Structure 1
Amino acid sequence: MTLTPDQENLYLIAPELPEILVRRYRLLRKIYYSAPLGRRSLAAYFQVGERVLRREIEILRDQGLIAVESRGITLTSAGESLVTSITPSLKSFLGLTLLEEKLVKLLKVKDVTVVPGDLESDEVVLLEMGRAATRILRECLKPGIVLAVSGGTSCAAVADMLPEAPAPSGITVVPARGGLGEVVDYQANTIAARVAQKLRTNYRLLHLPDSLSQEALQMLLREKKIKEILDLINSASILIHGIGTAEEMARRRGAAPEEMERLREQGAVGEVFGFFYNSRGEIVEHIPSLGLYLEDLGNRVENVIVVAGGRRKAKAIVAVVGNHPRDFLVLDEGAAKRILELYSRKGDTPLF
């Protein structure tokens, strides 16, 4: 962890302070998203004894941040306000602000937001990533634009955390691509509809599978209604998308064992929109589909917001974002630190 001189002094006075701060912040954050909760379920979630948890609960209650009632533990209004506003201060104290600055330089992204915590050990972190992305989205919205969203759990979290409030007039929300045939809640069509409902604006859907043969693609492109929707998608000014690991996405797309082996031999580590990337950001495989294409990201889309987290996705994030810079990257602390580990100390070359 890289510290400022003031932070180093605080560590000398109270070296246990960061651990206490993070522990209580995580506790408040979990209650914020899942209240009402009982002590037993909280102890199980954080894998600590009930006696230890009881002490933390008592401290937070005495500070007026939580309420302990028969129905369970909830946040007070002061607690809710603290959870939603503490992040910038917490990030600075934990060195995450400096981490964001390092990632901006390494990945050449305009802006990086690192959410405290590790997605792979705390499911609430995904919701925090979604909330961070919604703040960026709201700042990018303009009247009359087209907003495209992809499928996946990260984009679903953005839809979940987006506050219900009117957007500027004339905005249309569309799916960035066809569907993968996955869980309905994570399909691009479903997410686009939910985002539009939260923004109280219009949406159009693309009811087609994401993976099609070249012949089928050409045939569909001759259909007037489909072409109209595709033209709308390709006019998007804002795009929100996630990043998948190559192996996971190939498996979800129903790749045969020999195809999986070929991807491994080609060094594929990440996937976006059916394009599989190696560690150098080179496309080693492409599955034809309908929707936004890579050239659209640089040529027409004004703001690209990437939401991806988890240490296991670090290589995929570097391969995609590090070699094809986006405007905004939202990720968790676990992925951010793992990305730094992948880069050599002598230069800006990732070690994989």
Structure 2
Amino acid sequence: MQHLKPSRGPGQDGKAGPPPADAAYSDAQLLLAARLYYVDGILQTKIGRMVGVSQAKVSRMLAAARQRGLVRITVPEFEPRDAALEQQLCRRLKLKHAVVVRQIAGQSPAESRNTLGYFAGSVAAGWLAACGTIAVAGGRTLQCLADSMGRQPGPAQPTIVQAMGNVDAAPGQYDGSEIGRGLAQRWRGNFLALNTPAFVPDASVCRRLGEMREIREVFERLASADAALVGIGNLVESVFIERRVLQPRDIQSLRRAGAVGEILGRFYNDAGKQCATPYCDRVISMALDKLRKIPLVVGVVAGDDRTEAIRAALRGGLINALVIDDRAARLLLESRRLTGRR
């Protein structure tokens, strides 16, 4: 094939510089490669044999075709959020904010969490723009949301405070320590870590840790938080079971005590009140009574198995904003006896 030989522009030393990387290919060559790939679905290895280049160069040719405007990719309009459901949630549940992201049929739980986080991240970040202190819990869905929050949209450089100890001895990517540290770095703020396990062996250990100056300072800062980001767990798919902090027999004990949901490692009943169990004295996290006093508490949920837990959190005044998928939002609105926190 005949290649175009465009004139070379001057380099930094005034001499002729090298041509652009894609200048060696004519429009006709690029159109041929693009046609074979995008229209006919031919593999790049076979395209390479047809146009006389390597597979790696086929990828560069396709990129060059897009850069020259020879390939224009159009996608039918897709609105990832459901504005009508957002308005219904705010009106009926007296929420300050809500973002509802459409769930695509056939998505796995992990895919649903990632989609929710991607499309809701910038919206939730906007809610926090004026906040000076933000309490952050842990959780898989919350981690997906935080990863998509990007740069802080407001002028403030907030202090991010870990609101619950780490689930186990090796902090994972969805522990509050990792989520909070990542947010603080992206938002050029400060981070206060709660360097303890979420659950300790007994009440005496919990009490002694709480008396340490470093831990007291974290809880004092949490008490003055302007906002909080929390996940909402249930007793079916619990990260505490997944990471073997709680055993199935522990979950059975919590069920007998009336637990229907979990926030900050604290299990609560249908009225949104913490269940009276031995676990109350073993968890190191912000107390639910303190959480209720924070002006903005955003519950972050993906999946249609959390309706009862969300409903109880609303009854108990534990949250007043929601990041949620559309299926879970519909189930929540269909459920009865809802009372929202004002």
1:150–1:177 contact (8 Å) kept in structure 2: yes
- Partner of 1:176 in structure 2? 163
User: Which residue identity is paired with 2:252?
Assistant: E
Mapped partners of 1:208, 1:235: distance in 2 = 21
**What residue number does 1:115 align with?**
101
Q: Which residue of 2 aligns with 1:242?
A: 231
Contact 1:230 1:290 survives alignment (8 Å): no
2 CA distance for matches of 1:72 and 1:227? 60
- Residue number in structure 1 paired with 2:143: 156
Count residues in correspondence: 272
**Residue number in structure 2 paired with 1:188:** 176
Which of the two has higher C-alpha Rg? 2
Q: Look up the match of 2:130.
A: 142
* Cα offset, 1:152, TM superposition: 0.9
Secondary structure, aligned partner of 2:313: helix
Deviation at 1:165, TM superposition (A): 5.0
| Cα deviation code 1:235-293 (max 9, x no counterpart) | 22111011111243352563344432222334422111232233343432453333321
Cα distance in structure 2, aligned partners of 1:73 and 1:107? 50
Q: Please tell me whether residue 293 in structure 1 is matched to residue 293 in structure 2.
A: no
Which residue does the alignment assign to 1:130?
117
Give the residue type in structure 1 aligned to 2:97: D
| Aligned residue in 1 for 2:329 | 336
Letter in 2 for 1:148: A
Identity %: 27
Q: Distance in 1 between matches of 2:314 and 2:232?
A: 9
CA root-mean-square deviation: 3.6
Distance 1:139 1:336, change over 3 A: closer
TM-score (norm 2): 0.67
Deviations 1:11-56 (A, max 9, x none): xxxxxxxxxxxxxxxxxxxxxxxxxxxxxxxxxxxxxxxxxxx89x
User: Which of 211, 217, 225 does residue 222 from structure 1 map onto?
Assistant: 211
TM-score, normalised via structure 1 length: 0.65
Give the Cα–Cα distance (whole angstroms) in 2 for the partners of residues 151 and 336 of structure 1. 22
2:295 maps to 1:308: no
Instruction: Pick closer, same or farther for the CA change 1:254–1:134 going to 2, 3 Å.
Output: same
Contact residue 152 and residue 186 of structure 2 kept, 8 A: yes
- AA aligned opposite 1:207: N
Q: 2:188 aligns with which of 200, 211, 222?
A: 200
Deviations 1:317-339 (A, max 9, x none): 12213442523101001211222
User: What corresponds to 1:262 in structure 2?
Assistant: 253
Tell me: CA distance 1:70–1:104, structure 2 relative to 1, closer, same or farther (3 Å). same
